[in-house]
Amino acid sequence: MCGGLVTGSLRPHNPLGQSLFLRACRREKTERPPVWLMRQAGRYQASYRTLRAHVSMLELCKSPDLVAQVTVNAVQETGVDAAILFSDLLLPVEPLGLVLSFQKGEGPSIVPAIRNASDVTRLRPVNVTESLGYVLDAVRQTRRALSPDVPLLGFAGAPFTLAAYMIEGGGSKDFANVKSFMRAEPKAWHALLGKISRVVSDLLIEQIRAGVDAVQVFDSWVGVLSPSDYATYVQPHSRSVFEKIPKDVPALHFGTQSGALLERMKEAGGTVIGLDWRVPISETWKRLGPVAVMGNLDPTVLLSSKTVVRREVLRILDEVGGQPGFIFNLGHGVLPSTPFENVVTLVQTVKEFRSK
């Protein structure tokens, strides 16, 4: 599938529809909030560290068997209510014609970086089912391996975040190249995000066809933008992604340091808005109105004692106060140095809680 608007459901009735996670996405009353964690498969797990000692990040992402293994292990070891496919949001840059690698201790590297309109023109058209078929195979294998009562989330990077990586050639502290590019060459900028948004849309749709029950769009770097820049340079492209997701499939929209952008992100799309730890949940509902939200424990809390973890989890749950449409998560991913037992404590605390 490449680029078309999809209407209606992509698959038959989903027996997982009554899961806590999917009910919360629909803002239905649940006996307790569901809980899952961003980066819930990772180096804080001994099983993951053992595997990664022999397998590189890209080798892991491109092996459906291993993806299914680490995705299911994370659910079984922590007891969370939903699984998220183990993958990496940068995988689409390869079929676009760039070289992706992960430098030990330094994060991702992308070459050649996009720096002008000619670079945008040279990007290749992408057939997701051919060039990213291994991701779709991983969805199918994970769904078969996963307990039938556990929802599976697929995901993709948002157009802005993928463009930011492609322009900077990796991560950045100030994203000066990104901001300079979008202001100096707006036509090329919108062409770039248009190309990326088509790949992202196709990837999400094909993950749904392959068996995921919900999708999340990660806009990891969107918080570096002002609200006006977001509205001008990003919102139309994010909206085009969400508009193509079937209405019966929950779509989660998450960005870090995005407190100033939440209203515009909601306008761009998503049935669930992800929150980082910098915004109070109760105030967010006042700003956004009736919408499902996900969040928002500071990941560094998990570096503390079990007592502190329980206290902070209960503080958030008390703030929510039984409001429907809440999914417990971190305000970003689990940190690699997190003690495993603290993750288990977080999950158990949420699962023992009962909404009033």
**CA–CA distance, 61 with 219 (Å, rounded to integer):** 20
To the query of whether residue 88 is one of the catalytic residues in this protein, the response is yes
Q: What's the chain's length in residues?
A: 356
pTM flag (> 0.75): yes
* pLDDT for the residue numbered 7: 46
Please tell me which residue in 165, 219, 230, 276 is annotated as part of the active site.
165
Alpha carbons 9 and 248: distance in angstroms, whole number: 6
**pLDDT score at 1:** 40
Query: Pseudo-torsion of CA 199, 194, 215, 269, nearest 10°?
Result: -170
The catalytically annotated residue of 52, 209, 239, 278 is 52
pLDDT at 15: 62
Alpha-carbon distances of 89 from 39, 204, 272, 323, rounded to whole Å: 12, 11, 19, 31
Structure tokens at 236: 């139309």
Structure confidence at residue 5 (pLDDT)? 45
Considering the candidates 32, 39, 143, 198, report the single residue annotated as catalytic: 39
Q: Which two tokens stand for residue 295?
A: 């969040």
Cα–Cα dist 33/255, whole Å? 21
Active site residue 43: yes
- At 222 the pLDDT is 96
Q: With residue 122 as reference, give the H or E element that holds it.
A: none
| Per-residue confidence in pLDDT tens, the chain, 356 aa | 444 444 445 554 456 768 999 999 999 999 999 999 999 999 999 999 999 999 999 999 999 999 999 999 999 999 999 999 999 999 999 999 999 999 776 689 999 999 999 999 999 999 999 999 999 999 999 999 999 999 999 999 999 999 999 999 999 889 999 999 999 999 999 999 999 999 999 999 999 999 999 999 999 999 999 999 999 999 999 999 999 999 999 999 999 999 999 999 999 999 999 999 999 999 999 999 999 999 999 999 999 999 999 999 999 999 999 899 999 999 999 999 999 999 999 999 999 998 76
Reply yes or no on whether 52 is catalytic: yes
Of 350, 342, 257, 265, which Cα lies nearest the Cα of 302?
A: 342
> How many alpha carbons lie under 13 Å from residue 265 in its C-beta half-sphere?
34
Catalytic residue (choose from 32, 48, 81, 88): 88
Could you confirm whether 44 is annotated as catalytic?
no
Tell me which CATH code domain 43-292 carries.
3.20.20.210
What is d(CA 270, CA 353) in angstroms, rounded to the nearest whole number?
A: 27
Measured in degrees and rounded to the nearest 5, phi and psi for residue 327 equal -120, 125
**Strands (E) located in 5-53:** none
State whether residue 175 is helix, strand or coil: coil
Compute the distance between CA of residue 356 and CA of residue 354 in angstroms, rounded to an integer: 6
Considering 23, 26, 27, 43, which one is annotated as catalytic? 43
The yes-or-no answer on residue 23 being catalytic is no
How many Å separate Cα 345 from the centre of its chain?
23
